[in-house]
Amino acid sequence: MSGSIQPEWKMEFEIRSFDVDTSCTARLPVFFQYMQEAAYCHAEHLGLGHSHLSSLNMVWVLARMRIEVKRLPKWGDAVKLRTWPSGKDRLFYYRDFEITDDTGELLMKASTAWFIIDYEKRERITPEWWADSHYPIGKKVFESKLGRLKSCGCKGGEPRKVNYGDLDQNGHVSNIRYVEWMLNSLPLGFHQANEIQSLEVNYLSEAVYNHSISICEKRVDENTLDHGILVDGLDLFRARTVWKPT
């Protein structure tokens, strides 16, 4: 392996006015944006990025994610992100993350699982080079694997249409938008009374322009909610969140 290969990728960000909520605290989806950008940059560096796969009519798709939050920073705070590949198996390529403040205090950690699809056929594929590809592997931030979540079983609320602003460069709803929809479906009073501690997500299928989606949640216990996003009664997205009182 060339000595120029960087086994991990580091980026720094500042929390801006448009990143925060009514308490001047950074909203969680902001960090999904940071992580996605860092993953994109590192994959490009490793020769497995969007520019390389698109020439082969392939694209990366995020399938699962888990994030644990120690503390959300405030407007004006600087944060440092570190990411690295953490393994691969028959189904997924794994990438982990740590985000700290400028003193090195851990703010959150996350693990993600990805796979590749044929862009035109929208079918999952395993490229011939998958088993033989080599890149640096780092330590996993969680001991347990990212699992498949059960459906919360709810039917969903008032439907809404997928519009232009919901789409990413691949023509389907951005993985960040699902999380924004889920969190926005909870009342302001809930967010003011609670802080998120963890989020686990399964992306099951894609939503595209003009799809009619509905969002729902079900309380599991005092601190835990299960969430679903559906189209035509079928689950597109499942999540579980854990909260603590402010």
Compute CA 108 distance to the chain's CA centroid, rounded to the nearest angstrom: 13
Compute CA 117 distance to the chain's CA centroid, rounded to the nearest angstrom: 17
Q: What average pLDDT does this structure show over 188-192?
A: 97
Q: Domains along the chain? A: 1-146 (3.10.129.10), 148-246 (3.10.129.10)
| β-sheet bridge partners, residue 101 | 79
And the tokens for 45? 């560096």
pLDDT surpasses 70 at 1 = no
pTM of the model: 0.94
User: Distance between CA atoms of 202 and 92, rounded to whole angstroms?
Assistant: 13
**Average pLDDT score over the chain:** 93
H or E, element range at 231:
strand 224-231
Share of the chain above pLDDT 70, in %: 97
User: Distance between CA atoms of 82 and 212, rounded to whole angstroms?
Assistant: 37
The residue among 164, 160, 154 whose CA lies nearest residue 219 is 154
Quickly state the pLDDT bin for 222 (edges 50, 70, 90): very high
- What does the DSSP 8-state code read for residue 166? G
And the tokens for 236? 């597109």
Instruction: Look at strands 58-69 and 9-14 and give their pairing.
Output: unpaired
And the tokens for 127? 């490229």
The residue among 80, 114, 119 whose CA lies nearest residue 98 is 80
- 130-186 pLDDT, tens digit each: 666 778 899 999 999 999 999 998 877 789 999 999 999 888 999 999 999 999 999
